[in-house]
Structure 1
């Protein structure tokens, strides 16, 4: 028998087994663990690897009849239907390609943007029915049928027309309704009088009230969908001028493909404007019905079966009959598909497809960064639920692994540089700052590893948030600080956001390049009595305390001569010689110096074009414990700076296209820098940058705080 204490769920955020939660949880955070076959999701048997899902907003997990947990996913756990439908299509395409073992080059070309814009811009059949039946619906809302109900109301005596036994009881118990007390009795000032009032809370009216609410939600969803497409088209037009400047030919090709899908057709703008006018007219016509006599008089709109009962009003009253026909049209065109779909299966499919969508974005971003997939080891299947992709990153192997819990790990030279968790919860869809803040607090972890959470989010949702929340829900820093990120990095992605691939590319560039560039200076442990001799023999190192410090990349000739220089130093003492460890110490020191030199030489490789400079002695400039390097091929400049607040060193990248441009929130960085950025520039001064580890800006110090900066000015 399963007990409450023995039940555990897999927390995808931390990768640990935890007790089932109660109350409000993010959609997609928890999974049924392996080898678990006794739990029920509502009344359905849960299989290992299933997501903790429910019926739209609510969830119920049962171990037995006496042990269960329940809760909800908040106000709006799912994004707009436009996003859901396209993510489901992408998920199906990627899943089918992986099942049949298709090569990476085939399924990486799957478009990660909305592909059915033409169909979305055509008028929905339901909207035609709304326009046809709107006059009858308006008549029902304005003059609904009602039954008379008797209520007792306290009125002045002059207005009282009849009394009942309740009148006498109320008068005797409430002296405040007396006008005077006479010898013969009480002279009343007010009497509780029966009156007839209309009661609009009929079955037919509750159906019409529910119909008004659902039609209103349909029009709002269609308007939001239209604005998403319009924003994509506008962004696609802007990208036409930017595409030619992209350094990667892969990025240019994919960007042109996206733009061609968005801007196909000469009447695109006309169709958007025409549909916007039609939806605006429908909103204006439906809005008064939300405040009509019928809607106010109905306490609880109908929430029953789609099939309506054949009542006298629905059969014999023309206005109600047409309203019933409009209800049936809504069921057929909008509600029937949802009603026939298992809500658990739909939400589970959404969670799986969102993970596949994120996988597609990651491999497309790696491709845009110029990483080459190993042809003989492109896809390596560990089991049906896991996947490994191997890339060639300069001279090293880079592995992208997808685990059975639909999380991704990026490893370089055997070291984990990034862990990615696709969280299929629309964190910003509600637009409520308090609710979003609560979600961010729930998703905070104590793990010190670089952790990224991908979630479905739209630019329009972020524009309505306060500036501090906009920065919190869209931040790309890569997590290379020595102290590690205090909270996960949140990255919004969506098929209706054309900057999603570039945003993911910037994240991956920061994760791969950032730690490498921040490894200067490299410190090599060395015995104290040998430090001075090594530093004197090798002019590319300096002495430290029980260590030597590699302060510049040695030339190939200097690196080749290093072993013989160390051998000739006679580093060991007589005591060391007696132990016979002279050769072992020399070999270990040579190996450590060689590794340190190779680490420093990686700093010379351009993060943009991946080329090495012609003259490394001219390209590399040391500045104390930081450095500056320039590429003589593409003109990019990269350097490290030290934060005056947390003392972390962080890399800064400047390209010929980004030079002189100020920073801003995440969406501005997407539009201005795409993936060619490491630390974000100051919002007011182009030569200042924000520390990725603590977020501090040098321009925000107390003696020089800019009052006109939206980021650092006091609220």
Structure 2
């Protein structure tokens, strides 16, 4: 038995005290192991996930190993999120089984599936609304059971005398008021008292039905409200033109407009919310009735209803039976055994992995139409990858990229000449709690485990929505929604991003992360070097080349036609001189002959820097001081390159897109992908509206802050 840490990609024999959901997997070999009381086959690899009681247990068949871990409820995704994530796993398996192509996969909507059906009024709500009057009648005029009991009461309160009253009175002199010559005047007398009992079975069913319907309506209100927020966000982003860059606006409209009409669906959501709120109000009013108070919470009723005579034939109670059966039908899929819970949880993990694969695909290739081409890549093999299968390769103007879905559910994205990107989906919903201390501890547990890893870049993806993040403090928001390229002093520079089918910006967020991984490393590799010795006469007349202190030759820019011709002429002259010397200059002659294609090599080395990261056309290239460069695109008006930070003196990469009338005032954490989208490297200054001043990705200092312009900047003031 071994435990696999997906963040550090290492094996451990013991689990830590705090386990973050999705970080760990267990690997069985030949031993028999019980997970949450279920026996797993040998050579299994599964996620550590709690049972319905939020506990995870592991026990070997020989009882030598025994682990128990408790998970907080907030780490688990909500019902609507879980249902949506499982949809992506089912959709992926259906496409793979039908031998579908990559283009079929990226056409799957990255949003909540069947959103219109979820927003509409459901059958249970219609039936409840139609028959709620009968439930109200039962609560106000319930059937009861009459029970007669004997009790000693004062004579003034006596209504029905017990047949045994005389005998009892004769034997109990303490109940005498006084004696007379002929009889006894009683003070208390034994009476028959009629007691009305409320807690009959049918009334218990009615009270529990009210509780069940209230819980159902509460969950439905939460579901519709969550979907409405997504719809309103999409409607706002689709309708505004001043707060968002037009390219980002176009992509969002394409993503949303292909599947929904936001305005119409928002109206449906508002109508459904009103009806659910009215239904909730009426159900809550029944809590104050005498029947509900008499039964209270102490009475329990099984899921399967007994068809009593009252429930079948009474003109009002029969609708209690009807609503209970309808409610049970809606809840039929929720009563699961241990194996079903385990399998659904593992499917949930795989669904989140599939969702991450979809976002990566949409970021690279787009959805396959002219309005969304992603980062300009196309799939070479056009096959849908599966976990543990071969890599899928993509070709584009920025070169070749391969994506591998690894056995542990993470993704390895590779490109020649730069560090790999390790994308790790973590299912824990880090923003589902308002406890800042818990979030900080959990995030630090994740990030500090990555500190020793320097062989690649890491991107952590977790499910989270904007509404959840808005409830958190600014400092917590920075920790759980960052690419690590605008960190303040003392913050860890690890990329951790929230994604969700409920968040329409998720695609832009992942695309921006891949853009940063790919182009930031390439831009910072300027100037490229040639591992060849070049004679001094050739270097003196080639200002597009420069020799550094390590005797390596840097390529500063592509040679112009005249410069290329001059270089070739000089090179040919040197070759002719060595050829005239015969065998004495044979070694030098071979070295010079290898330089005949040097201008072409220089052009090939500079060409990747000239590719526009916005529209993928070729821009003009200018070499600048301090080993920086500047490129400008005549097609889209964007410019990009590297600059030197005035604070730390290091280079940082940037993209400055054509502004085209953006006047956004949104400067909360995460505003970059919302306003500018993926066409960003270094983060622009939060208070500058020309997006031409940037935050250094090395030291986190902003030039505006260096000059003392902090007024109104949420980032630098905090």
TM-score, structure 1 normalization: 0.75
Over the residues paired in the alignment, what is the CA RMSD in angstroms? 4.7
Secondary structure in 2 matching 1:118: helix
The 10-residue stretch of structure 1 (313-322 or 360-369) with the greater mean CA deviation from structure 2: 313-322
Q: Give the deviation of 1:451 after TM superposition.
A: 0.9
Alpha-carbon separation, structure 1, partners of 2:585 and 2:283 = 93
The structure number with the bigger radius of gyration is 2
Q: Contact between 1:53 and 1:347, CA under 8 Å: does it hold in 2?
A: yes
In the alignment, does 2:413 pair up with 1:410?
Answer: yes
2:163 aligns with none
Contiguous gaps of at least 5 residues in structure 2: 145-197, 366-372
The 10-residue stretch of structure 1 (490-499 or 636-645) with the greater mean CA deviation from structure 2: 636-645
Alpha-carbon separation, structure 2, partners of 1:38 and 1:255 = 52
What per-residue deviation string (whole Å, max 9, x for no partner) do you get for residues 476-530 of structure 1?
36x799x999453222222222222222222222222221122223455788xx8
1:227 aligns with 225
Contiguous gaps of at least 5 residues in structure 1: 1-6, 146-199
Give the number of the structure with larger relative contact order, counting CA–CA contacts within 8 Å between residues 6 or more apart. Answer: 2
Q: 1:534 to 1:437 in 2, by over 3 A?
A: farther
1:642 aligns with 644
Secondary structure in 2 matching 1:675: coil
1:507 aligns with 513
Q: Contact between 1:210 and 1:303, CA under 8 Å: does it hold in 2?
A: yes
Alpha-carbon separation, structure 2, partners of 1:358 and 1:488 = 18
1:471 aligns with 478
Secondary structure in 2 matching 1:233: helix
Alpha-carbon separation, structure 2, partners of 1:317 and 1:76 = 44
From 7, 18, 27, the counterpart of 1:13: 7
1:540 aligns with 544
Alpha-carbon separation, structure 1, partners of 2:661 and 2:626 = 24
2:91 aligns with 93
The 10-residue stretch of structure 1 (664-673 or 252-261) with the greater mean CA deviation from structure 2: 252-261
In the alignment, does 2:41 pair up with 1:38?
Answer: no
Q: Give the deviation of 1:597 after TM superposition.
A: 6.0
Alpha-carbon separation, structure 1, partners of 2:491 and 2:589 = 42
Alpha-carbon separation, structure 2, partners of 1:464 and 1:295 = 36
1:496 aligns with 502
From 657, 678, 695, the counterpart of 1:675: 678
Q: Contact between 1:658 and 1:673, CA under 8 Å: does it hold in 2?
A: no
Alpha-carbon separation, structure 2, partners of 1:202 and 1:24 = 48
1:28 aligns with 22
The 10-residue stretch of structure 1 (596-605 or 360-369) with the greater mean CA deviation from structure 2: 596-605
Q: 1:586 to 1:434 in 2, by over 3 A?
A: farther
What per-residue deviation string (whole Å, max 9, x for no partner) do you get for residues 123-176 of structure 1?
23343455545885899799999xxxxxxxxxxxxxxxxxxxxxxxxxxxxxxx
Q: 1:68 to 1:267 in 2, by over 3 A?
A: same
2:277 aligns with 280
From 48, 51, 68, the counterpart of 1:55: 51
Alpha-carbon separation, structure 2, partners of 1:645 and 1:439 = 32
In the alignment, does 2:626 pair up with 1:624?
Answer: yes
Matched positions, count? 636
From 467, 471, 476, the counterpart of 1:460: 467
What per-residue deviation string (whole Å, max 9, x for no partner) do you get for residues 15-53 of structure 1?
221234255422222223374653321122335232222
Alpha-carbon separation, structure 2, partners of 1:579 and 1:497 = 68
Q: Contact between 1:524 and 1:592, CA under 8 Å: does it hold in 2?
A: no
Mapping for residues 318-333 of structure 1, pairs under 5 Å? 329-333=326-330
Q: Give the deviation of 1:245 after TM superposition.
A: 7.5
What per-residue deviation string (whole Å, max 9, x for no partner) do you get for residues 61-116 of structure 1?
22242421121332223333333222222221112212343221222211111231
Mapping for residues 98-113 of structure 1, pairs under 5 Å? 98-113=96-111
1:695 aligns with 700
Alpha-carbon separation, structure 1, partners of 2:542 and 2:103 = 47
1:168 aligns with none
Secondary structure in 1 matching 2:526: coil
1:552 aligns with 556
Q: Contact between 2:398 and 2:608, CA under 8 Å: does it hold in 1?
A: no
The 10-residue stretch of structure 1 (291-300 or 619-628) with the greater mean CA deviation from structure 2: 291-300
Q: Give the deviation of 1:339 after TM superposition.
A: 0.6
Q: Give the deviation of 1:350 after TM superposition.
A: 0.9
Q: Give the deviation of 1:279 after TM superposition.
A: 2.5
Q: Contact between 2:134 and 2:317, CA under 8 Å: does it hold in 1?
A: no
Q: 1:207 to 1:20 in 2, by over 3 A?
A: farther
The 10-residue stretch of structure 1 (51-60 or 208-217) with the greater mean CA deviation from structure 2: 208-217
The 10-residue stretch of structure 1 (598-607 or 294-303) with the greater mean CA deviation from structure 2: 294-303
Mapping for residues 121-520 of structure 1, pairs under 5 Å? 121-128=119-126, 131=129, 132-133=131-132, 215-241=213-239, 255-256=253-254, 258-263=256-261, 267-285=264-282, 306-307=303-304, 329-333=326-330, 335-340=331-336, 342-367=340-365, 368-375=373-380, 377-379=381-383, 385-394=388-397, 396-413=399-416, 415-444=418-447, 445-446=450-451, 447-448=453-454, 449-476=456-483, 486-520=492-526
TM-score, structure 2 normalization: 0.75
